[in-house]
């Protein structure tokens, strides 16, 4: 087992990893930009190293600075959290070249899943159901017309190198295709330096269902059920739950096994998430994330596991601590992502927290780096807290979430808490009847 782990991240996820390290008796090293000198992850870690100025490019994304921080502190392994360098295969290679351990999958697996066409081809070969679409990249507008005509409209043009919802354009009819194709290509070129795109059938009313998988890197893998992340704004998840109100035990076991078998077949190591759109009882693979997800706590609550501990165990060469037969869902969990943003425009609202009170009580988990007097810097993601509840069933989880949101105090800045309060009054949310477009439509009337 490692003696010391460096966490190449900030905010709540850095705290999450430091907490796991403490429970495992491992020393933790925080890295921070000058803007984060007073951050909670710096205070909570055993040691900390300043790795640069506020700009992420020069700090949290600076590979030389992070490797130097490992060398200075003697950390043997790096946990990347999510975002930043977590899915950067080049970083993983450099970490290994320096004799350090990356807590996550191999560079090859990150590359395989980072390129969406390769990811889709691989999943198809492994028996995972995919969205109907072009075979590989679509290079010319003539080819785009041919592929779309054969599939039928609407279609979606997507960047091969895509991420964060960029380089994606819907063509409702043939008349939209020329523009969708050229916009997706130019957006992709600007964002990723690569203008290759592919075309998929556009699903009109799907849910976003993702399967948590975990592999030991030696051909053994399990699944830990699904998360429903259909409530999205601009492709950003807002509220997530486990289990999905739309999935029954038989369906879960079936798609779960398909996913676990697929990652076992490629000797995948560590935590991963296979994302699907789900419509008319069918699953359609869209992408695999080769890292811990923001919403992992709902799975932890329902399956009674510590996914970060498990990541560390497997990265250090130990076996996984569970087998599939031991993993049974228990109760219901919901997570609200609370952002420092002013509604209704969702405008970033950084600034000083004058008063902070975290909710507590039975079945309540608050993952947040806030404290009284903390100054939220304007440079990073606006996520300030994840409020997670766990209860025996969905109705009691909703009641618990309302109660916990009512206890929470974050004064001094604007947050998205009122949005969550409002959502928890909506009949469609209470009945679980929503798809990936529900929130955007609802927001048109919300003010």
* Structural contact between residues 31 and 66, judged by C-beta atoms closer than 8 angstroms: yes
291 counts as catalytic: yes
* Structural contact between residues 274 and 288, judged by C-beta atoms closer than 8 angstroms: yes
Min CB(172)–ligand ADP separation in Å: 12
Q: Which window, 30-38, 144-152, 157-165, 314-322, contacts ligand ADP (CB under 6 A)?
A: 157-165
- C-alpha 97/C-alpha 134 separation (Å) is 37
Q: Which CB atom, from 278 or from 374, has the smaller least distance to ligand ADP?
A: 278
Q: Which CB atom, from 77 or from 429, has the smaller least distance to ligand ADP?
A: 429
* Structural contact between residues 145 and 157, judged by C-beta atoms closer than 8 angstroms: no
Q: Work out whether strand 351-352 and strand 197-201 pair parallel, antiparallel, or are unpaired.
A: unpaired
203 belongs to the binding site for ligand ADP (CB under 6 A): yes
Catalytic residue, candidates 10, 16, 207, 291: 291
- The binding track of 402-441 with respect to ligand ADP, each residue x by CB under 6 A or -, is ----------------------------------x-----
Q: Which window, 8-16, 195-203, 314-322, 377-385, contacts ligand ADP (CB under 6 A)?
A: 195-203
Interacting positions 210-269 with ligand ADP (CB under 6 A): 232, 235
HSE, side-chain direction, 13 A CA sphere, residue 213:
32
Burial 414-434 (b: 16+ CB within 10 A, else e): bbbbebbeebbeeeebeeeeb
Phi, then psi, of 165 in degrees rounded to 5: 75, 5
Interacting positions 161-190 with ligand ADP (CB under 6 A): 162-165, 168
- C-alpha 91/C-alpha 89 separation (Å) is 5
Q: Which CB atom, from 205 or from 249, has the smaller least distance to ligand ADP?
A: 205
- C-alpha 412/C-alpha 236 separation (Å) is 25
Which one among 200, 210, 216, 240 touches ligand ADP, defined by CB under 6 A? 200
Residues in the chain: 447
- C-alpha 436/C-alpha 434 separation (Å) is 7
360 belongs to the binding site for ligand ADP (CB under 6 A): no
131 belongs to the binding site for ligand ADP (CB under 6 A): yes
Total binding residues toward ligand ADP, as defined by CB under 6 A? 20
> Distances in Å between the alpha carbon of 175 and those of 138, 152, 316?
18, 13, 54
Min CB(434)–ligand ADP separation in Å: 13
124 belongs to the binding site for ligand ADP (CB under 6 A): no
Q: Which residues form the interface with ligand ADP (CB under 6 A)?
A: 131, 156, 162-165, 168, 200-203, 206, 208, 232, 235, 275, 277, 286-287, 436
Catalytic residue IDs: 291
């Amino acid at each position: 087992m490692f003696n010391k782990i460096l966490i190449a991240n900030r905010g709540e996820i850095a705290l999450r990893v430091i907490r796991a390290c403490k429970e495992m008796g491992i020393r933790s090293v925080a890295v921070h930009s000058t803007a984060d000198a007073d951050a909670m992850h710096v205070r909570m870690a055993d040691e900390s190293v300043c790795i640069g100025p506020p700009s992420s490019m020069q700090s949290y994304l600076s590979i030389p600075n992070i490797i130097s921080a490992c060398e200075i502190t003697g950390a043997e392994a790096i946990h990347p959290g999510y975002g930043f360098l977590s899915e950067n295969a080049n970083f993983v290679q450099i970490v290994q070249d320096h004799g350090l351990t990356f807590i996550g999958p191999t560079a090859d697996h990150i590359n395989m899943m980072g390129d969406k066409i390769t990811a889709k081809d691989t999943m198809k070969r492994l028996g995972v159901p995919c969205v109907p679409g072009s075979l590989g990249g679509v290079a010319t507008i003539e080819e785009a017309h041919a592929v779309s005509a054969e599939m039928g409209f609407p279609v979606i043009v997507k960047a091969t190198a895509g991420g964060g919802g960029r380089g994606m354009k819907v063509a409702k009819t043939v008349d939209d295709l020329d523009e969708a194709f050229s916009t997706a290509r130019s957006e992709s070129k600007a964002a990723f330096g690569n203008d290759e795109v592919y075309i998929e059938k556009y699903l009109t009313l799907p849910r976003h269902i993702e399967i948590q998988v975990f592999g030991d890197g030696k051909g053994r893998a399990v699944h830990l059920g699904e998360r429903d992340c259909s409530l999205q704004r601009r492709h950003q998840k807002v509220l997530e739950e486990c289990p999905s109100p739309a999935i029954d035990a038989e369906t879960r076991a079936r798609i779960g096994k398909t996913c676990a078998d697929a990652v076992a077949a490629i000797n995948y190591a560590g935590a991963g998430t296979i994302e699907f759109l789900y419509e008319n009882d069918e699953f359609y693979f869209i992408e695999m994330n080769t890292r811990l997800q923001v919403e992992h706590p709902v799975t932890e609550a329902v399956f009674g596991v510590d996914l970060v501990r498990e990541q560390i165990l497997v990265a250090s060469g130990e076996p996984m601590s569970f087998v599939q037969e031991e993993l049974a869902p228990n109760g219901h969990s919901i997570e609200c992502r609370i952002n420092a943003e002013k509604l209704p425009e969702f405008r970033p609202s950084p600034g000083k927290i004058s008063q902070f009170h975290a909710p507590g009580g039975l079945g309540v988990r608050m993952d947040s780096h806030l404290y009284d007097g903390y100054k939220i810097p304007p440079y990073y993601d606006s996520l300030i807290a994840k409020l997670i509840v766990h209860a025996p069933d969905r109705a009691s989880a909703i009641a618990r979430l309302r109660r916990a949101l009512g206890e929470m105090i974050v004064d001094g800045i604007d947050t998205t808490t009122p949005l969550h309060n409002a959502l928890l009054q909506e009949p469609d949310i209470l009945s679980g009847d929503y798809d990936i477009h529900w929130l955007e439509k609802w927001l048109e009337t919300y003010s």
